[in-house]
Amino acid sequence: MKKLLVYYSHDGSTKFVAEIISKIIEADIMELIPEENINITGIMKISWGVRQLITHPKPKLLRNNINPSDYDMIVIGTPVWSYTFSPPINTFFNEYKLSGKKVAIFCCHGGQKGKTIEKMKECLKGNIIIGENDFLEPLKYRKEENLKKIIEWANNISK
């Protein structure tokens, strides 16, 4: 079975989780990188997030030579922004219409995941969701506990 891990990471938490999962399940990696850097912090991040809820931006992504349609299983990871998935993941969902794939989804958040998982599932209708998970600040809090959770989940979705 050919496996792909797709992710966007702003602060590094999603990248941390994605790299561990990809090693365990032996997946290729497709990091989503916006053409223009989304460099927001502090109060501006909140303002930008509110605007995202209204406009649903789809930033242009740097191109790569990976075609998700060539894979049987796809894992998708995102940070939570304003209780939903990040704009680069929105772009991914709009550029690649996945169907009939085994898909696992995860998000990283600072306290509330909101409807992130549910909204991702809506975008992935027509696929088989084989797993979902969320990770609370995996680089900041209870790192060892989060690491065990990541490893256990990766082993479960690869069965």
d(CA 59, CA 148): 33
Q: How confident is the model at residue 9 (pLDDT cuts 50, 70, 90)?
A: very high
Element spanning 46, H or E: helix 42-55
Q: Beta-carbon neighbour count of residue 19 at 10 Å?
A: 16
Q: Is 125 in a helix, a strand, or coil?
A: coil
Q: CA 153, CA 159: separation in Å to the nearest integer?
A: 10
Confidence of residue 157 (pLDDT cuts 50, 70, 90): very high
pLDDT over threshold 90, residue 77: yes
Is residue 40 scored above 70 in pLDDT? no
What pLDDT digit, counting tens, does each position of 84-126 carry? Answer: 999 999 999 999 999 999 999 999 999 899 999 999 999 999 9
Mind listing the domains of the chain with CATH numbers? 3-157 (3.40.50.360)
**Global pTM?**
0.90
Instruction: Provide, rounded to the nearest whole percent, the portion of the chain with pLDDT above 70.
Output: 87
Q: Which of 53-57, 78-82, 89-93, 111-115 has the highest mean pLDDT?
A: 89-93
Confidence of residue 36 (pLDDT cuts 50, 70, 90): confident
Give the residue among 153, 136, 19 at the shortest CA–CA distance from 80: 136
